[in-house]
Amino acid sequence: MDHNLYHEIEDKAQILVDSLPYIRDFNQKIIIISFGCSNILTDEEEQEVMRDIALMKSIGMRPIVVHDTKMGHDKFRENKRIAKMIEFCGVKAVGICGIDLQTIHMTLDNDYIPVITPNDIDNEDTPILPEEAAKEIAVSTGAEKVLFLGKEDGIRDDEGHIISQMTRDEVVKMYVAGKFEGRLLQKVTYALQMIEQGVPRVHILGSKMAHALLVEIFSIIGVGTVIMPDKEHYYPHELKKRTAAAK
């Protein structure tokens, strides 16, 4: 066997081994993906994201997708389109318009992925951000984590480097200092609200990197920023790795 090919296979096997503790952690846990990148991904990139979501479902997670709508597109058709893209990957998905918690739970219990377009039934002209809807659903369903997938690739330090892990207090300090603006400010605001209401982890990550969702979920460092209540909220296997790395 070619030497380089052997090492490539070995690396892929190690990735699977490293993922196993996370697969156990997230088995039957609700994971919410706030998909706010319809206007920035190509069709191929978008389909790749859907494959990653289908994989999450196939290994035991209970993903919920909350999406925005492409500019100039009908939100109901967009909802059906995204659900069909996920079903094309071999899992069951169903489109839901609006935040109906009873329907969401029924959908999960019947082994479907809920694909939700935020919609105000009383006033359909009132826009609802996917992040806002994700927050309401996460708090109500007891979600294990929420991933904000979009143009904003995380929280950066003063040198411009993405900070991979932050506590609530660290984020609040930057928030008070006026470090956030635009959509990132909105995401951070909803993230802090979720952490304060009991959601264990909220991630902010960019959508352009291949398999960004999987890398963020199945590794300590990830590709974006994860916000946690405090440093006591590492998973046990993460604590072991951090202790070993510090030696």
Tokens 């072991």, located at residue: 240
**Cα–Cα distance measured from residue 165 to residue 181, given in angstroms and rounded to the nearest whole number:** 20
Q: Which residues of 19-33 are buried (b: 16+ CB within 10 A; e: fewer)?
A: eebbeebbeeebbbb
**Cα–Cα distance measured from residue 64 to residue 72, given in angstroms and rounded to the nearest whole number:** 24
Residue 245 has pLDDT above 90, yes or no: no
Best CA proximity match to 75, nearest among 38, 113, 33: 38
Burial (CB < 10 A; 0-12, 13-18, 19+), residue 192, is middle
**Cα–Cα distance measured from residue 150 to residue 29, given in angstroms and rounded to the nearest whole number:** 22
Q: Rounded mean pLDDT of the chain?
A: 88
- Give CA angle at 164 (130, 70), nearest 5°: 25
Supply the pLDDT for residue 127: 66
Burial (CB < 10 A; 0-12, 13-18, 19+), residue 113, is buried
Supply the pLDDT for residue 231: 80
Domain range spanning residue 94?
3-246
CB 227 within 8 A of CB 192: yes
Measured from the Cβ of residue 73, the count of other Cβ atoms closer than 10 Å reads 13
Supply the pLDDT for residue 129: 87
Best CA proximity match to 182, nearest among 217, 239, 143, 131: 131
Supply the pLDDT for residue 171: 98
- CA distances to 18, 43, 167 from 149, rounded to whole Å, are 23, 16, 20
Token code pair at residue 35: 């998909």
Rounded to whole angstroms, the maximal C-alpha distance in the chain is 64
**Cα–Cα distance measured from residue 118 to residue 129, given in angstroms and rounded to the nearest whole number:** 7
Residue 190 has pLDDT above 80, yes or no: yes
Secondary structure class of 227 (helix, strand, coil): strand
Supply the pLDDT for residue 19: 84
Q: How many domains does the chain have?
A: 1
Residue 17 has pLDDT above 60, yes or no: yes
Measured from the Cβ of residue 13, the count of other Cβ atoms closer than 10 Å reads 10
> The domain that contains 151 carries what CATH number?
3.40.1160.10
The one-letter amino acid at 246: A
Band the pLDDT of 221: cuts 50, 70, 90. confident
The one-letter amino acid at 52: D
Supply the pLDDT for residue 124: 58
